[in-house]
Chain A
Amino acid sequence: MSARDRILAKLRAARPAEPNALPDLDAHYTPRARGEAKTERLARFRAGIESFHAEVHISSEADWPALLARLCADKQVATMLYGADTPAGRRLDQATFPATTLRPWAGQVEELKADLFHRVDAGFTQTRGAIAETGTLMLWSSEAEPRTLSLVPPIHFALLDANTIQPTFFDVLRTENWAAGLPTNALLISGPSKTADIQQTLAYGAHGPKELVVIVINAEGDAQ
């Protein structure tokens, strides 16, 4: 018998005859649902992620590339890596960045690892949405936007559509039915990388990005 068979045999011999009843998640979440409008959800998301030290800018569909260019200049980003084959990436292809070289991701990570670790100042990604309750971004890795894009460069710029902010993580898993098809890597991000491992003193930029900058696309006239 293999280790696997021995472990499973021991467990099977001891398992209760009837499994417990399936836990009722709705009983916990339904009475606590807030039923917030988009504006409040955005406000709560913003307060949450700002409390984790992220920078949030509200913009519009038309203006965000110019805002990003300005932010890059302010932060002295010389090179920014992005995924070209996305709606946002195609907007960036058209935009002018006076102070920054835009570099589309090309090839496998092995081909650009050294640059990624040593020469790229910022990575830009879209987001799948966000969570109001905790101030959290959701990213799914894809061929166009690999996972290291939001991890290795010191600054991470993330583009978020205000319409995709959901109340809780539980709501996301339910309404979007993530269980039906997860990507290789799904990520929740709440702020720049941090640690409190030295005397409980909070320090940012532990191993991941030191700065997280969120640009929210919000239709004109909505919450600023």
Chain B
Amino acid sequence: MSHQPQQQSAGQPIAFVSAQALRARMHDAVNNPHLRQSFRGAMDFLMAKRAAQFPDQDELDSLRSLSEGIRQYSLSKLPELLEQLEANLTRNGVKVHWAETPDEANAIMLGIARQHQAKLIVKGKSMVSEEIEFNHAMEAAGVGALESDMGEYIVQLAGEKPSHIIMPAIHQTKQQIAKLFAEKIPGVDYTDNVDALIRIGRNVLRDKFESADIGLSGVNFAVAETGTLCLVENEGNGRMCTTVPKVHIAITGIEKIVEKLEHVAPLYSILTRSATGQAVSTYFNMISGPRKAGDKDGPEEVHLVLLDNGRSQAYADEQLRKTLQCIRCGACMNHCPVYTRIGGHAYGTTYPGPIGKIVSPHMMGLEQTHLLPTASSLCGACGEVCPVKIPIPELLIRLRGEANSAPHAHPAMVGQGAAYDPKISFVWRMWARLYGRPSTYRAFSWLATRFRALTPRKQSGWTAARTPLQPAPRRLRDMLKDRR
């Protein structure tokens, strides 16, 4: 079998095909030394940068507890805060839309584009727009959607998907990008000088900012009490998208909300430090409405699309709700030994790594995603670095349980029981019985040592790369008896 994990044909959405496909992608990724080297290097770099931002363990502990507290507080009042946000945004002149599914969200945005006869939408970085396959939906409808974050632009030009939520083109080397630019951008010669490459991107995209009809962005924090959308970025493309075109559309998941403006200060600080090891990002952009009477620039219309897409399902369960504390910093993937070895594309989901494993099942259902929570050694690194203290390993175990338990009438999530196998479940039940009582355990081990010759030589997955397991000739308890 030969797969090309990094090469996806243009515009083709990545979705889960099957367990075999996931295993094959992971297998190929692990056997691609080039890919592994890129990710290893990048993750080491990001881990070291993060560590340097938190020299004071005490401050880190305190800030993490505070950030967790703010996120949990916000979620505990989520319905009220959403209404408050909507009321204040409306007062500020922002139009608020609600979407339960990706299709609804795309339809809303396409409607806005049609209303303005938009030909080109220029995009700031937004993982939610990836989640709903926005570019694909717009292209299908004949509206251009152009990524302007440098990493996203590279990935779009290559016909790929982001392999990291913060650094989308982390899997590409500068030589690959140089080749890509020379092939795809008219009048550009091969150069692998990073400054020159950025200059090329800048020049192409400046024209687009100037001429685009609509700018699209994500949202890092939405502030309920003021009706403010906050955006974190380094490049300035987010500011361009939200300032220059006549219409600005922001899209966000319903969970990215805080009540008070001051709650943003600690979250912003821990976000940039956890994500890229920066004390602060170059820009923190706080938008509270469209161009007002007297204002000389800014969009004439601002829209916010609030997307559910499985989030309310996670919300309904006290433990799973913690998934929604996430501020999308990417630290869990940077510190994940599995992510570092297989890279972002192998997962096949919009959000890769540990956060992807706990959030994707709510977006796509467990039928398609039940293998994801098993792609973990439960080493605990993700939970340890998470700035809002999401107990990711616990949630992985919970999701494994949801997937493997017998289907029942009141499932906590779509696809509960998707991996349920009555035979396996029977074996485990028997095992629990045998091991649960000393008498049965004793009888079992006595039989096992006597009939060890009957152990099968082929033990499916185990013997693929290992010698078969066989009970010892004598039990420990018998050997101890002899000693006495």
Write the residues of chain A forming the contact surface with B, with a CB cutoff of 8 angstroms. Answer: 2-4, 6-8, 10-16, 18-25, 27-28, 32, 48, 52, 105, 107-109, 113-114, 117, 134-136, 141, 143, 146-148, 151-152, 168-170, 173-174, 178-179, 182-201, 203, 205-209
Contact indicator B234/A194 (Cβ below 8 Å): yes
Q: Is B471 an interface residue when CB atoms closer than 8 A count as contact?
A: no
Q: Mark B43-73, 1 if CB is under 8 A from A, else 0.
A: 0011000000000000100110010011011
Distance in Å from the Cβ of B312 to the closest Cβ of chain A?
A: 4
Contact indicator A146/B167 (Cβ below 8 Å): no
Contact indicator A196/B62 (Cβ below 8 Å): no
Residues of the A chain whose Cβ atoms lie less than 8 Å from the Cβ of B315: 10-11, 14
Q: Mark B234-277, 1 if CB is under 8 A from A, else 0.
A: 11110110011000000000100000111111101100000010
Known: A147-B297, A200-B170. 19 other contacts (CB 8 A): A3-B99, A7-B254, A11-B82, A108-B296, A109-B298, A143-B296, A146-B296, A147-B243, A148-B297, A151-B239, A173-B265, A184-B292, A192-B282, A193-B236, A194-B235, A203-B198, A205-B202, A208-B236, A208-B282
Write the residues of chain B forming the contact surface with A, with a CB cutoff of 8 angstroms. Answer: 42, 45-46, 59, 62-63, 66, 69-70, 72-73, 76-79, 82-83, 98-100, 104, 148-151, 154, 167-170, 172-174, 177, 194-195, 197-199, 201-202, 205-206, 209-210, 225-226, 228, 234-237, 239-240, 243-244, 254, 260-266, 268-269, 276, 279-292, 294-298, 306, 308, 312, 315-318, 321
Residues of the B chain whose Cβ atoms lie less than 8 Å from the Cβ of A25: 66, 262-263, 265-266
A108, B295: Cα distance in complex, Å: 8
Residues of the B chain whose Cβ atoms lie less than 8 Å from the Cβ of A152: 240, 244
Contact indicator A198/B194 (Cβ below 8 Å): yes
Contact indicator B280/A197 (Cβ below 8 Å): no
Contact indicator A197/B168 (Cβ below 8 Å): yes
| A and B contact pairs by CB, cutoff 8 A, 26 listed | A3-B100, A7-B98, A8-B83, A10-B308, A13-B316, A18-B76, A19-B73, A20-B72, A25-B263, A25-B265, A28-B62, A108-B296, A117-B209, A136-B280, A143-B294, A146-B297, A179-B225, A187-B239, A190-B283, A195-B150, A197-B151, A198-B172, A199-B172, A199-B173, A199-B194, A200-B42
Contact indicator B198/A134 (Cβ below 8 Å): no
Residues of the B chain whose Cβ atoms lie less than 8 Å from the Cβ of A200: 42, 45-46, 167, 170
Distance in Å from the Cβ of A92 to the closest Cβ of chain B?
A: 18
Distance in Å from the Cβ of A150 to the closest Cβ of chain B?
A: 9
- Which residue of chain A has its CB nearest to the CB of B276? A196
Contact indicator A184/B295 (Cβ below 8 Å): yes
A11, B78: Cα distance in complex, Å: 7
A184, B225: Cα distance in complex, Å: 15
Contact indicator A16/B76 (Cβ below 8 Å): yes
Distance in Å from the Cβ of B250 to the closest Cβ of chain A?
A: 13
